[in-house]
Amino acid sequence: MKRRKFIGASAAASLGLLATKTVGATPRPDGNYKSELKGNINHSACRWCYSRIPMEEFLKNLNDLGIKAMDLTGPEDWPLMKKYNIHASMCWGAGLGIEKGWNDPKLHKELIADYLRVIPLVAEAGYKNLICFSGNRNGMNDLVGLENCVTGLQQILPTAKEHGVVIQMELLNSKVDHKDYMCDHTLWGVELCRRLGSENFKLLYDIYHMQIMEGDVIRNIREYHPYFGHYHTGGNPGRHEINETQELYYPAIMKAILETGYKGYVAQEFIPTWEDPIAALKEGITICDV
């Protein structure tokens, strides 16, 4: 699992501390993962948060939980996922990671070739969403970076449209986890969507990251939901469990998402601190199952 390439050293370091982190942990190793879900929210879970669990075991866990999809997987994962009828709700496998993205024209040639290679693979596997990143500013003006992203992304969107694939740029915080990342505010990402003018380009709205950068989560979901193609969860502060140990109230957020008519997936992307990480995932799914 190469999540470090995509999330950067900060979050990867947090993952490495799981074995020793105890503050706020609530171990519930009961092993009872069966759950009855309401069917209003399409649930998913991000693989990297559970990478210490072997893939096949994790897929069985998802089946027990009633979770139908998994985020942030690549072509090497898909055959085994299909065996367990788990959908790839957000694919990766193209690009140069979070820090090196579409805002740098020097990288466009390599990025374009890579995305043109991977887009057909996503479609052939029966999937729809493929993640991308703006890259870091590195002293670049945000408007210049916006224009550079438009120039580069325009060259892959016809292929995405042809194959029915949606390129999704993730909104990340530049305050705590991804210093200097450019696509760190909703309005910057929305303006990029508007300039591209394509239904094959959307924003991955990460609730944890946007709570850190700007808050006002429910209002922004209501106002800008046409530009959001996918959602990630996470408790703030710390990106851990989404229960009463943190400041976001996820039942209200999920209801706001449903009210927009959203039919896609909501993926849990918190780093579990519990002794039993699957029990923590079950709790997160239950909280979001409105």
DSSP string computed for 148-203: HHHHHHTTTHHHHHHHT-EEEEEP--TTTTSTTBS--SHHHHHHHHHHH--TTEEE
Residue 266 is predicted with a pLDDT of 98
Residue 36 is predicted with a pLDDT of 87
Q: List per-residue pLDDT tens for the chain, 290 residues long.
A: 344 444 443 333 333 333 333 334 444 445 678 878 999 999 999 999 999 999 999 999 999 999 999 999 999 999 999 999 999 999 999 999 999 999 999 999 999 999 999 999 999 999 999 999 999 999 999 999 999 999 999 999 999 999 999 999 999 999 999 999 999 999 999 999 999 999 999 999 999 999 999 999 999 999 999 999 999 999 999 999 999 999 999 999 999 999 999 999 999 999 999 999 999 999 999 999 99
Residue 30 is predicted with a pLDDT of 53
Residue 25 is predicted with a pLDDT of 43
